[in-house]
Chain A
Amino acid sequence: MATTEDTRQERLDRGIKVRTEGIYALTSWREMGYLLAPRAFLIFGLLLLPLLVDSYWQRVLCIAGVYALLALSFDFLAEYVGLVCLGGAFFVGCGGYTAGLLNHYLGWSPFFTIPIATVIGAVISTLTLLPCLRLRGVYFAIVSFMFPLLTVNIVVALNIFGGTEGISALATLPNIWFDQYLIFAVVIVALFVMRRLVNEDIGLIFRSIKDNDQAVRASGISITLYKTKAVFVASLMGCFGGAYLSHQYGWLGISLFAMDFSILPIAATVMGGAGTLVGPVLGAFMLTPLSEALRGFGQLRVVLYCLILMGFIVYKPEGIMNYLQRKYHQFEHWKEV
């Protein structure tokens, strides 16, 4: 590696990347393959994964799917709308409690409670966050961080919804295969929907809110309205994760508001590559099994993924996915200066 002072690294887009950007991608199989290969690799990889592991790790994969959804929603909010939400657990808790309570008190089957809880939970969490949406940056992060912790306090203090014990014996989903493919299908659909969403007109408004919200206001667009929409979309994913989790465990309790649901997705996002949307999903599928393998060590896993998080944020802030994309789309060489 020539890293001396008289050379510098130059990066150029590969010819095939430039050719595949327009309609010309359809001119040959090679170009189409270049576009489809990474996407197909991801989709088939996720769909094949459950066949390769035993039943214990299949459960872990289900949880990893939930974390992937949360990481996706964190990445969307932080990188495309500029709202750093440290309270992912709040979404999980809202969705999980709604689904569990509907199932427990009204006896509805999971096939109804999960979609209903996804929407109702998202409405509840959006309405709760609504007064704080005028805030930005550090301020929003602080307030959103407080919500899950304080909700736990309220649930415990008022002893509602089962208090500290939670409610057990909820209906579970039919079988483990259904569990896995349900969450994987949702992850894949959510991923591609989000990728499409951020490139639509509404995505442009979201990104401009992140870059300069005063300019957006000056253009006559209500930033609070669009922030509300963004939080609703993000909390749909989180609430689905929560509703799914409470039916997967057949149990709901205050651990749905646990810190893990806020921290691990953030670590996954930083590790996978913030702003790429697919990176956080990959990060979640790497970090969750890792933290599961360390379950025997108790709190060590939290310490460990905080260390990973800090390592990446300080030494490799671009994350894995940005690195891979660069290698895929560009070639680099050292050049004399």
Chain B
Amino acid sequence: MMDILFYGTVNSVTFALIAVGFTLVYGVSRLPNFAHGALYVLVGFMTWSFVNDLNLNYLLAILISLCISSLLGAAIYRLVLIRLRGLPTSEIIASFAFGLIILEGLRLQGIGGFKGFIGPFYVLPSFIDAKFRVAGIIIDAQRFIIIGGGLAVVIMLWLFTHYTKIGLSLRAIAQDEQAAMMLGVDSDRVAMISLSIGSALAGLAAVIILPLGNVTAEAGYRVLIYALAVCIIGGLGSWGGAILASFVLGFAMIVSTSLFGAVWESVVLVGTIILILIFKPSGLLGKQKELEERV
């Protein structure tokens, strides 16, 4: 019972970490960033190569790869998406293509001596290698860091969007783009900032979560699916909904895994989405433009 509670929480926070960047971008600028999973994996591999090939300090490596990731996010907007604003189909296809270029590019072999990231050899070190015994179950420190990191990210984001000028302009654009533009908020600049923050958040999720397992390129697709699942269930663009949805999904998956085995994980995922779509098409807490946009 205790372990279901604990691992359920860890799982839920993982989902929330993965999804928060995606929701931020979509909520602010209505841009579905389908390159989200790719950026997640890319940060994992970059950190790994900085640590193992360049022998950088672990924290420094993380910082550099987060910076690169947020620059990439800004670049996606500046070079590609800015020309496609307001064409949802093209936005999806272009950002998805960008993500695929990164993901499949990581698996390229034999070009310029690049070996390609294939196989289960890429493991990020944990921050603290320790195990605790709490209430009868053994817990490693990384899982505590995930919970703490998740909390910290949510609190930081809340503070950022409520008390800084850039954060306030992000929310202004999210609420009413035209009114915000009349008050001197540059929509393109805000969209670029939101994409770069969203990409950095994808990377942050990667460095917090990935020490639990291997870094593989295939994980990119799964991460994208999880982020999308959380956002659909919570209601796209709704923050509270995303967090609530990650807890629903996280616990649903852990409970079903411990009852029926890991086989049913993906079935539960699809099942939850379909049920939510049938009974509440706008998602758990999604209110924005409910009628004209989704149904």
Contacts and interface: CB of A to CB of B under 8 A. Distances in A.
Interface of A: 78, 84, 86, 131-132, 134-139, 141-143, 145-147, 149-150, 153-154, 157-158, 214, 259, 263, 266-267, 270, 297-300, 302-303, 306-307, 309-310, 313-314, 317
Which 10 residue pairs of A and B lie closest in terms of their CB atoms, listed nearest first? Answer: A153-B266, A302-B104, A306-B97, A157-B263, A299-B104, A142-B228, A299-B107, A309-B97, A306-B101, A131-B274
A299 to B, nearest CB: 4
8 contacts: A84-B92, A136-B294, A138-B88, A138-B92, A142-B32, A266-B93, A297-B111, A306-B100
B270 interface: yes
Contact of A146 (B89, B109, B270): B270
Contact of A270 (B93, B221, B267): B93
Contact of A310 (B80, B270, B281, B294): B80
Given A84-B92, A138-B92, A149-B221, A298 B108 contact: yes
A302 B264 CA distance: 31
B92 A314 contact: no
B83 interface: yes
B28 interface: no
A214 B293 CA distance: 10
B107 to A, nearest CB: 5
Interface in B211-268: 221-222, 225, 228-229, 231-232, 236, 262-267
Interface of B: 32, 80, 83-84, 88-90, 92-94, 96-98, 100-101, 104-105, 107-111, 116, 221-222, 225, 228-229, 231-232, 236, 262-267, 269-270, 273-274, 277-278, 281, 291-295
Q: Is the interface of B mostly helix, strand, loop or mixed?
A: helix
Most buried by B among A150, A267, A306: A306
Residue among A84, A139, A149, A317 having the largest count of chain B Cβ atoms under 10 Å: A139
A76 to B, nearest CB: 14
Given A135-B295, A136-B294, A138-B92, A303 B105 contact: yes
B294 A303 contact: no
Given A84-B89, A299-B104, A306-B97, A139 B274 contact: no
Contacts of B232: 139, 142-143
Contact of B32 (A135, A138, A313): A138
Given A84-B92, A138-B32, A145-B228, A298 B107 contact: yes
A145 B270 CA distance: 12
